[in-house]
Amino acid sequence: MNALFDNLWVQNALVLAGVAVWVALLIHGSRSERWRRAWLRLRKDRVGMISGGVIALYLGVGALESFQIPQPTGPSLSVLGWMTRGVPREKSYSAPLARTSLSVVKPEPLKGRHLLGTDALGNDTLVQTLRACRTALAIGGITSLIYIPLGTLLGILAGYYRRWVDDVIQYVYSTLASIPSILLLVSILMALGKGLGTMSIALGVTSWVGLCRLIRGETMRQSERPYVAAARALGQSHWKIVLHHLLPNVLHLVVINFVLGFSGLVLTEAILSYLGVGTPVGTPSWGSMIDGARSEFSREPLVWWNLTAATGALFGLVLSLNLFGDALRRAFDPKKA
């Protein structure tokens, strides 16, 4: 399974499939008056639009690292790798914008100047930070393909059918919620092996509970509305009511949960990589960069730029996702409708 999911082309196909699903859902939801009013309010939210622009920038960088350019000789090269192919690789550490290597005994001249310095292997820190965007976005995108449909479907079924269906679904997610999430994640990864695919599966298995609870409660509220009673009176089937009436009316909660939950997935990936059970060795990751920086703070001279670059990029993405999620929540607030 790792060999399949860790294949770059498979990951790109899954991410593109996720993007296509979300575009289709957004187009479907945009036909309602509520979505159009929310978009007009969101456009007036300056913080929300700026944070959305920052997220789009991260997505653009991740896309540049995802798409590959075939090479006549040797392995394929990502678009970002092709754009940064002129950045030289040094022998070891070098400070930001330094002219010589970081060595007390015998500093050597560098092949070039690096804005954020280089790491222990001589790789440019800025390039490694940009490449790690793809790992964070791939984890969030592939995981969302698992937990968003699962949590939405189970939540609607529990809220609409109730009775024994609700009891079974509540029992399942109550059992999962009673287990500490980090311990459950680590145990799944230790059993299935390290890899982006298994990490996405583990995060998907543990991330749907909150969404399911949210959708269940909203579905119960929507089921008491007159339009559902009218649909039943007209003889519409249960699945038609679920797909054509209930799903569009809870879709805004799914979008908000996706944006806010994405930041949690990015942070969890960084934590797991920091613990050594996350991304495989050699895969650019902010968590791996932070993990590698632990020993750099105890050396002399001090190497601070790798940790600063990784945490700065992680902070920027998580902050933007949370601000944009809050802006979406304000835009869809029914009190302003």
Which has more confidence, 52 or 67? 52
pLDDT confidence tier of residue 252, bands split at 50, 70 and 90: confident
- pLDDT at residue 22 in the model: 64
> 188 burial class (0-12, 13-18, 19+ CB within 10 angstroms)?
middle
- Residues 118 and 130: their CA atoms lie apart, in Å, by 13
Residues 49-65 have pLDDT tens digits of: 899 899 889 888 888 88
Q: What percent of the chain has pLDDT over 90?
A: 1
Which has more confidence, 249 or 23? 249
Average pLDDT, the chain: 80
The number of angstroms, rounded, from the C-alpha of 155 to the middle of its chain's C-alpha atoms is 22
Is the per-residue pLDDT at 141 higher than 50? yes
**Peptide bond preceding 226 in cis form (omega within 30 of 0):** no
- pLDDT at residue 337 in the model: 44
Angle at CA of residue 11, ends 86 and 1, nearest 5°: 125
pTM of the model as a whole: 0.80
- Residues 131 and 314: their CA atoms lie apart, in Å, by 13
Residues 190-219 have pLDDT tens digits of: 887 777 778 888 888 888 888 888 888 888
- Residues 297 and 312: their CA atoms lie apart, in Å, by 17
> 27 burial class (0-12, 13-18, 19+ CB within 10 angstroms)?
exposed
- pLDDT at residue 28 in the model: 62
Which has more confidence, 295 or 32? 295
Copy the structure tokens of residue 236. 């519409």
- pLDDT at residue 246 in the model: 80
pLDDT confidence tier of residue 287, bands split at 50, 70 and 90: confident
Is the per-residue pLDDT at 171 higher than 60? yes
Contact by Cβ (8 Å): 250, 152: yes
Average the pLDDT over 17-29 and give the result.
66
Which has more confidence, 334 or 241? 241
Class of 2-66+114-336 in CATH:
mainly alpha
Is the per-residue pLDDT at 157 higher than 60? yes
- Residues 306 and 303: their CA atoms lie apart, in Å, by 7
What are the residues facing 223 on neighbouring strands?
A: none
Residues 212-238 have pLDDT tens digits of: 888 888 888 888 888 777 877 877 777
- Residues 185 and 258: their CA atoms lie apart, in Å, by 20
Is the per-residue pLDDT at 128 higher than 70? yes
Angle between helices 33-43 and 247-275 (to 10 degrees): 50
Report DSSP state, residue 118: B
pLDDT confidence tier of residue 297, bands split at 50, 70 and 90: confident
| Overall residue count recorded for the chain in this entry | 337
